[in-house]
């Protein structure tokens, strides 16, 4: 038997999954790692925690499945996007913790640039908005706030990368400093129209060009893993940011195809083809995976807190011991009894883009129980997705007829049914929920000849589960009205970020 190994480096855990030739999971391993919160709105990771948790998962899955390195045809990498690491080229040591995509410390910087009129230029080049979500502000912050880093960067001694770059650098013992186009398109520094790092944007954020990685295609061979890491000489043959990888894993390869991933955040992406198009509703345009060496674009709505709201109930509120218990807890009550939960812990993403928003639970009564809050938390995920889908429908003038879903929280049947009821369209869940990892495996497998074509991949897909809308539309509309009012009350709260 031969396999493709997918490294799925996420925000709260690192996973490694082996896929066989039928696209089925042959083994999986995962390790969570610590989240670091130095200040309000700040989120960091230790880059070595990212690396060791990912390598441990990879070696563990190989051992559990009794697979030798020579049985692995290729390795694909998919990663949390925007998260920013700067390290020393000689020692390989980071100069600061990884600043995570959720981090909002650069809100004031982005507001200043927007006030100076820079956003439209940025949008026309990158498809993105001036938000602390993206990488450029995080790099700029490290350069300006960590002692001695600016001088070392100017001297060409440092390297910047998103998590894929950090993993490839370490997997190849520093031989390759690369990123793929999907990850580059999340930095605010890459021109996705002209397909290059943009000198004007580098100047805007005062980032030296010497920091930047080489940009490769998502299904391009980039080098072998060094034997010292216990993975043999497996070829790294696919890289994609997690949401573009999930889009590809769902085989959304034609214009109009779309999916939503329910992970730490939620990300709704729609393939819009080979023409760069901007949203009129503050969604972002990003690069999608392309297997024919031509630029492909997607429209994206990014929600910062999706499944992470359940982790918050588990870790901060101690409502239950395991995230998987939330479904049973919420099921003990018929509804949220008027409780609305807006999980704007690090601001609001699409379609609001409000870095000053903060979390809010409203509608509490004497009779409110943990179960009501848990149900409202789960429902908040679906409400946010509905907000994004509504504006995406308006942008494309091509309304969704169904929503393809994946990610951990998509396993929650009650959430998927509520989502279908809220949207008024069927929700389609694939047999293999790990489509983020599957997308990276597909990319690596295609570039290494493990699979011959996308048509062959389609033949291997198993039957989906379909959730049809059941609930009265008027009731759903009332719930959405309450949600939107609660969102407005959560906005512009954290004035300290100004």
Q: Are 184 and 190 within 8 A, CB to CB?
A: yes
Angstrom distance (rounded) from CA 3 to CA 20? 5
Of 408, 450, 423, which is closest to residue 73 (Cα–Cα)? 450
Q: CA dist 367 to 335, 337, 363, 370, 376, Å?
A: 13, 9, 11, 10, 15
From the annotation, which residues make up the binding site for glycerol?
81-82, 133, 242-243
Of 251, 258, 243, 242, which is closest to residue 291 (Cα–Cα)? 251
From the annotation, which residues make up the binding site for ADP?
11, 15, 264, 307, 408, 412
Burial status of residue 344 (CB atoms within 10 A of its CB: 0-12, 13-18, 19 or more):
buried
Q: Where are the beta strands (DSSP E) in 10-118?
A: 13-19, 25-32, 44-45, 72-79, 85-88, 98-99
CA 346 to chain centre: 15
From the annotation, which residues make up the binding site?
11-13, 15, 81-82, 133, 242-243, 264, 307, 311, 408, 412
From the annotation, which residues make up the binding site for sn-glycerol 3-phosphate?
11, 81-82, 133, 242
Contacts of 162 (CB under 8 A, 6+ apart): 79, 81, 82, 83, 84, 85, 135, 179, 183, 186, 187, 241
Task: Tell me the pairing of strands 403-406 and 258-262.
Answer: parallel
From the annotation, which residues make up the binding site for ATP?
11-13, 264, 307, 311, 408
> What backbone torsions phi and psi does residue 14 show, to the nearest 5 degrees?
-110, 130
Q: Are 385 and 419 within 8 A, CB to CB?
A: yes
Angstrom distance (rounded) from CA 278 to CA 381? 25
Instruction: Please give the angle made by the CA atoms of 389, 183 and 200, to the nearest 5 degrees.
Output: 100
Residues in a beta bridge with 13: 32
Residues in a beta bridge with 273: 297
């Amino acid at each position: 038997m031969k396999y493709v190994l997918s490294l799925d480096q996420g925000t709260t855990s690192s996973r490694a999954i082996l896929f066989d030739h039928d696209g089925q999971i042959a083994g999986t391993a995962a390790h969570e790692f610590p989240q670091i919160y130095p200040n309000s709105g700040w989120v960091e990771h230790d880059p070595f925690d990212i690396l060791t948790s990912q390598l441990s998962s990879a070696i563990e899955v190989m051992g559990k499945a009794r697979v030798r390195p020579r049985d692995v045809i290729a390795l694909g990498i998919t990663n949390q996007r925007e998260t920013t690491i700067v390290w020393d080229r000689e020692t390989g040591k980071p100069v600061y913790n990884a600043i995570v995509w959720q981090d909002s410390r650069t809100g004031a910087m982005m507001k200043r640039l927007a006030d100076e009129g820079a956003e439209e230029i940025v949008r026309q080049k990158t498809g993105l908005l001036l938000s602390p979500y993206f990488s450029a502000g995080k790099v700029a912050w490290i350069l300006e706030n960590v002692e001695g880093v600016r001088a070392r960067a100017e001297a060409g001694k440092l390297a910047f990368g998103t998590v894929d770059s950090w993993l490839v650098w370490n997997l190849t013992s520093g031989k390759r400093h690369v990123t793929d186009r999907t990850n580059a398109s999340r930095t605010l520094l890459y021109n996705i129209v002209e397909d290059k790092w943009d000198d004007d944007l580098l100047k805007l954020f005062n980032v030296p060009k010497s920091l930047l990685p080489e940009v490769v295609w998502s299904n391009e061979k980039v080098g072998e893993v060094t034997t010292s890491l216990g993975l043999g000489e497996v070829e790294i043959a696919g890289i994609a940011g997690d949401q573009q990888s999930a889009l590809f894993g769902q085989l959304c390869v034609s214009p109009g195809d779309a999916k939503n991933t329910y992970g730490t955040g939620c990300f709704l992406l729609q393939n819009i083809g080979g023409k760069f198009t901007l949203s009129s509703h503050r969604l972002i345009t990003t690069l999608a995976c392309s297997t024919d060496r031509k630029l492909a674009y997607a429209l994206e709505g990014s929600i910062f807190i999706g499944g992470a709201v359940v982790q918050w109930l588990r870790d901060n509120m101690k409502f239950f011991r395991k995230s998987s218990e939330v479904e049973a807890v919420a099921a003990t009550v018929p509804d949220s009894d008027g409780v609305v939960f807006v999980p704007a812990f690090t601001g609001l993403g699409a379609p609001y883009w409000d870095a000053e928003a903060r979390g809010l639970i409203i509608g509490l009564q004497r009779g409110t129980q943990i179960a009501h809050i848990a149900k409202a938390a789960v429902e908040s995920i679906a409400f946010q997705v509905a907000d994004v889908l509504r504006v995406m429908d308006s942008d494309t003038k091509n309304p969704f007829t169904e929503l393809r879903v994946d990610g951990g929280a998509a396993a929650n049947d009650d959430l998927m049914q509520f989502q279908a009821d809220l949207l008024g369209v069927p929700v389609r869940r694939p047999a293999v929920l790990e489509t983020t990892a599957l997308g990276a495996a597909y990319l690596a497998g295609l570039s290494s000849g493990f699979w011959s074509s996308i048509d062959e991949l389609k033949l291997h897909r198993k039957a989906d589960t379909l959730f049809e809308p059941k609930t009265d539309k008027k009731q759903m509309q009332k719930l959405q009205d309450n949600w939107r009012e609660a969102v407005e009350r959560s906005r512009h709260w954290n004035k300290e970020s100004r």
